[in-house]
Structures are given as C-alpha cells and as structure tokens.
Amino acid sequence: MNDSSSLADFAGNRYSQSGEDGILQEIFRRIQTDVQSKRWCVEFGAWDGEYLSNTCSLIRDHGWNAVLIEGDADRAEQLRNNFPSSSVTALCAFVGLTQPTRLEDLLASSPCPSDFDFLSIDIDGCDIHILESLQSIAPKVICIEFNGAIPNEVEYVQPADFSVKQGSSALSIIGVASKKGYDLVALTATNLLFVRQDLTALVLGTQRPSLDDLRDDSDARCFIYSGFDGSLMTSKPIKLHWHLVEVDPKHLHALPRPLRRFSNDYNPFQKVLFVAYLGVKNPQKLRNWWNGRTRLRFGARHS
C-alpha cells in the first residue's frame, strides 16, 4: 500500500504555512473512492480565508464546500468578501467549549454534514481543548496546531483558558486524538495531521509511524542542569521562537549570586543568607534540615 514516509514528500504551499496544502491533497487522493459526495471542509481561526489557510486551496482549486469561522469582525468581513459563493458559509464567531459556542452548535445552522471531510483547528492556544470537546462530529481528517518548541517526549496541556496562548505538546494532542479514534499520519513544522482510524489503512497501508518517526525534534531539545555550586546551565541557548529572542542561562538562576557556591564552602554570612533564603523558598525543607532529617550539612560532603 502507501509508504507512510512519502506524505512529507508532497508538502507544498498554495496558501498554507508549512506544506499542508500538498500533504492534504495527497491524503485525500489516497482515501478517495469511486463514488464521491461533495467535499466539505471546516476551518476556524480562519482569518480572511486566505492568510496561512489550510482550506483555501481545497475551496478554490478543488471546488469544496466550506464553513469558515473567524471571531474578529474585520477579518470575518474580509472572509465574506473573499468567498462570496454560496458554497462557503462564513461565520463571525469564537469557538468555545460550552453551549452555544461549541463547534457542533455553530455548524448546526449550516448544511455541513457531521462526518465532513476536513477540519482545521488553529487558534494559538486552546486547540487541544477544542479537539477534546468534539462529540457529535467526526471529520475524516483533522489538522491541528501544536507547539513545536516542545520536545516529542514531553506531555504538556496548556490551561483551558482562551486568554492563554501557550500551545500544547504534540504528544498530548496525539493522546487526545487517539481517544477520539484518530491516527497520526503526517506533520509539519506547525501542525499535526490525523486520519480517522477507519480510513488510516487507505493512507498508510500497514504502517503506523510514531511521533519520533515523523519528527526530528533536535531543534526543540534543550537540557537544563545545575552545577555543584547551584549555577544553572543549558545545553544550548534557550530560544523564544515567537519572540526572536535567545535566553542567557544566567537569567534562569534561582539562587542569588552570593549563594552560587558549593554549600560546604559557604562562609558564615552565606550560611545565614542561605537559611533565610530557604526559609522563604521552602520552609518545610528548612524545618527538615534544621531537625537533621536531610542530608545537607554545612562542612560535610554531599552524597
């Protein structure tokens, strides 16, 4: 059947950001059947329908029907102007987690079927919570944004708060998608692409690639470690990718500079300062240390 690694070879952009247009075209070529109904796609966080869009090519180049949802009123107006056809339903709304703002609620007023073909989720934060909230819809393919600064092995789910813009890890999103009945088939620098499990074999054959198979996360991996003196060090500069800033490890220090010494070498002033510092930062640890139940001793070797 199909080689799972080949999907990345089809990456290409007409309107998308990181090659999603080409990958999606190939996924839908593979799951195509002899009898085709009219294709439907849904995207929210749609902006003007063109900018970094994962659905614009499907609509304009392949004649798909669509529901495009954008919460910003000015962008939603641009969206309507860019897609005047009756085949596109443009909504000005924010997708939420409770009625009447859930995606299912918003789609209920449109002609879009519940098992539509493609859903694109890109809201820069609560994407995973929207995915988890889906109940009555079962799109064939889902594209969802993840935080590419988080290594593959890390589980991280940002708070379910739409004012927070952190993003969640690929591993955590994959876990939610799997519970919903979806398999990871491809990814780009910004998005994970899932196929409903009843269709996965058409896309991947017998292959089921892992996240590590599909993604080299070496650029996202950075180790933080401490020296005997309490200094914090990193294996490479810490990059704030969305702010174009690299963080110097010296800005990460928890210990004040006078205490960045091997604790056995503290002078009397530093010992007093350390006790005061520990009393503020970890009173329970200070009590344990004072009562002799910890292994930290000034003037004794650490083990």
CATH number for position 198: 3.40.50.150
Q: Is the dihedral of CA 170, 174, 176, 182 positive or negative?
A: positive
Whether 43 and 150 share a structural domain: yes
Whether 266 and 205 share a structural domain: no
pLDDT at res. 271: 87
Whether 20 and 118 share a structural domain: yes
pLDDT at res. 1: 42
Phi, psi at residue 298, to the nearest 5°?
Answer: -70, 130
Whether 204 and 84 share a structural domain: yes
In the chain, the number of structural domains is 3
pLDDT at res. 200: 95
Whether 208 and 299 share a structural domain: no
Whether 42 and 171 share a structural domain: yes
Helices (H), the chain: 20-31, 56-62, 73-82, 103-107, 127-133, 170-179, 200-204, 211-214, 268-281, 283-290
Whether 69 and 195 share a structural domain: yes
Whether 171 and 250 share a structural domain: no
- Residue numbers of the domain that contains 299: 262-303
Which is nearest to 193 in space by CA: 51, 54, 30?
54
Whether 201 and 54 share a structural domain: yes
Q: What is the pLDDT along the chain (303 residues), one digit of tens a residue?
A: 445 458 999 999 999 999 999 999 999 999 985 445 679 999 998 899 999 999 999 999 999 999 999 999 999 999 999 999 889 999 999 999 999 999 999 999 899 998 899 999 999 899 999 999 999 999 999 999 999 999 999 999 999 999 999 999 999 999 999 999 999 999 999 999 999 999 999 999 999 999 999 999 999 999 999 999 888 899 998 888 887 788 887 788 888 888 888 888 889 998 889 889 888 888 888 788 777 655 555 555 444
Whether 107 and 124 share a structural domain: yes
C-alpha distance from residue 289 to each of 69, 227, 278 (Å): 58, 21, 10
pTM of the model: 0.85
Which is nearest to 188 in space by CA: 95, 120, 244?
120
Whether 226 and 148 share a structural domain: no
Whether 249 and 292 share a structural domain: no
pLDDT at res. 303: 41
